[in-house]
Amino acid sequence: MTLHLLQLHNVRVIGTGNVVVVLGHGFGTDQSLWKQVIPHLVDEYRLVLFDNMGSGATDPDYFSFDRYSTLHGYAYDLLALLEELQISSCIYVGHSVMGIVGCLASIERPDLFSKLILVSASPRYLNDVNYFGGFEQEDLDQLFEAMQANYKAWVSGFAPLAVGDDMDSFAVQEFSRTLFSIRPDIAFDVAKVIFESDFRGVLPYVTVPCHILQSNKDLAVPVVVSDYLHQNLGAKSIVEVLQTEGHLPQLSSPNVMVPALKRHLELSI
């Protein structure tokens, strides 16, 4: 079973440091998202990399639409992995949706996390009264419709938008590759769950210090969201807005992202 779980999530543990850093990738990517970051961290940290269930590198048979109908499913996966690896304390770096998942997991087991680093995370993507998440319901409807109609076409349209770069750029190519490797029905389901999630209510319960990293210009997560997180998180938090574009700064601008990430891993608030 042990082997099984770790295998299914393609868990890799690399690095020689004493501090464990768990890297969680967001929607549409897999652990390769971090590949430009890893070389800079392996010497100081022990990195735990894994794929979320449902991402392109995992066996779709194990994707449970029921379990992952809420982000809690991922949070429990994360906790199961940590327990399986017998990690008693770690710094968790979560990108996009996995940032919120990290928050959820930390609410459940605050003892396992010493620090959360949230990269481009958003508790809610839809606009609401007094909340600007960046999406209107119509936008989402269109998005879902497009996803269902022609997944490939949607990917090729969505990837450049999300990354904020040209179609030919490395980051976009990379993102479209991972995005496209997800089984379309799973991608649709996951996207729906993510975009319709609203975890503003749980933020006050987070007790682990949070470092929020945010691209200056991000289609999926407006900058105000990072401020919202900062205001509403129950724990100490700090926001750094990176001078980058796009939702995946670690892919598109590693030169900015890596130093910032190292800084936040190193320093505590």
Partner 1 sequence: MRAGVNTVQQTLTPEAANILMQAVSEARRRGHAQATPVHVAATLLASPNSPLRRACLQTHPHSSQLPQCRALELCFNIALDQLQAAQGPLPNGQPSYSNALVAALKRAQAHQRRGCPEQQQQPLLAVKVELEQLIISILDDPRVSRVMREAGFNSTDVKSHLEEIASHHASPLVIPDTIRLPLGVTPIDQMGFPLGVVRPSLLGGFSLPHHINRFSNGAATQERTDLQHHMRPFRITPSPYMNPILLKSGSAIPSVTCEESNQVLEVFLRKKSRNPLLMGDSAARVDDIVKDVIQRLERGTGPEQLHGVKVISANLSCMTLINASKEDLCSRFAELNKSVQELICSGGVVIHMGNLQWLEKQVRSTGSQTAGFYPVQHAASEMKELLARHRDCNRVWLMASATNHTYQNCQALYPSFESQWDFCPISIGASRISTLSTARCSSQGTGIDSLTLSLLPSSGASSQPKVPSEDDGQKLTCCADCSKKYERDAALLQEQECPKNPESPQSCSSSIESPSKAIVDQSLQPSVGSQPALPLWLQKALPAGSSSIATTTNEVREKTPSFSMRLQELRKKWNRTCRNLHSDHLPSWSESIEVSQQQPSPLSSQVSGNPSECTLSLLRERSIAPKPILETLTSLSGHHPSSNVMPLNAKIPGIQSTKTHQLLQARAHNERVHENNNCSPSMLRLSWQTPHSAMPMMRSTEAAVPCSTSESVTQCQPSRTFLRMNPELLGQLCKSLAKKVSWQPKIISSIASTVVQCRAGLSKRAGGLSLRGDTWLLFLGYDRPGKRLMAEALAECSFGDNKKPICMSFGKHQDVSSPDTWNLGLNVPLRGKMPLDQLAEAVRHNPSSLLYLEDLEQADSIFRSSLTRAMSKGRLVDSSGREVSFNSVIVVMTSSVGTCSEVSTTSICGTQNRNDCSQQHNEDHGSYLQASHELNQANKRKPSWNVHGDSDENESSKLLKRSNCGRGLDLDLNMAAEDNDKAPVFTSHVPTQDACSVTGNTKPDLSDEDVLRGARIQLGEFCDLVDAAVVFASPV
Extract the tokens encoding 167: 């179609």
What's the start-to-end Cα distance of the chain, in Å? 38
Extract the tokens encoding 190: 């996951």
CB of 225 to partner 1, least distance (A): 11
CB of 124 to partner 1, least distance (A): 8
**Between 127 and 181, CB nearer to partner 1:** 127
Count the Cβ atoms, other than its own, within 10 Å of residue 121. Answer: 27
Extract the tokens encoding 41: 């961290």
> Contact 73/105 with Cβ under 8 angstroms?
no
Catalytic residue among 51, 77, 165, 218: 218
**Between 66 and 168, CB nearer to partner 1:** 66
CB of 13 to partner 1, least distance (A): 4
Q: For residue 90, what are the β-bridge partners?
A: 113
Catalytic residue among 9, 95, 247, 264: 247
CB of 196 to partner 1, least distance (A): 7
Q: What is the DSSP string of 161-180?
A: HHHTS-TTSHHHHHHHHHHH
Q: What is the DSSP string of 2-67?
A: HHHHHHHTT-EEE---SEEEEEE--TT--GGGGTTTHHHHTTTEEEEE-PPTTSTTS-GGG--TTG
**Between 10 and 169, CB nearer to partner 1:** 10
Q: What is the contact surface with partner 1 in residues (CB under 8 A)?
A: 1-8, 10-13, 16, 18, 20, 46, 53, 62, 64, 66-67, 70, 72-73, 76-80, 83-88, 108-109, 126-132, 136-138, 196, 198, 201, 224
51 is catalytic: no
197 is catalytic: no
Q: Nearest Cα to 28, choosing from 221, 248, 261?
A: 248
**Between 68 and 175, CB nearer to partner 1:** 68
**Between 26 and 73, CB nearer to partner 1:** 73
Spatial distance between the Cα atoms of 30 and 32, rounded to a whole number of angstroms: 5
218 is catalytic: yes
Catalytic residue among 30, 77, 95, 96: 96
Count the Cβ atoms, other than its own, within 10 Å of residue 42. Answer: 14
CB of 140 to partner 1, least distance (A): 9
Active site residues: 96, 218, 247
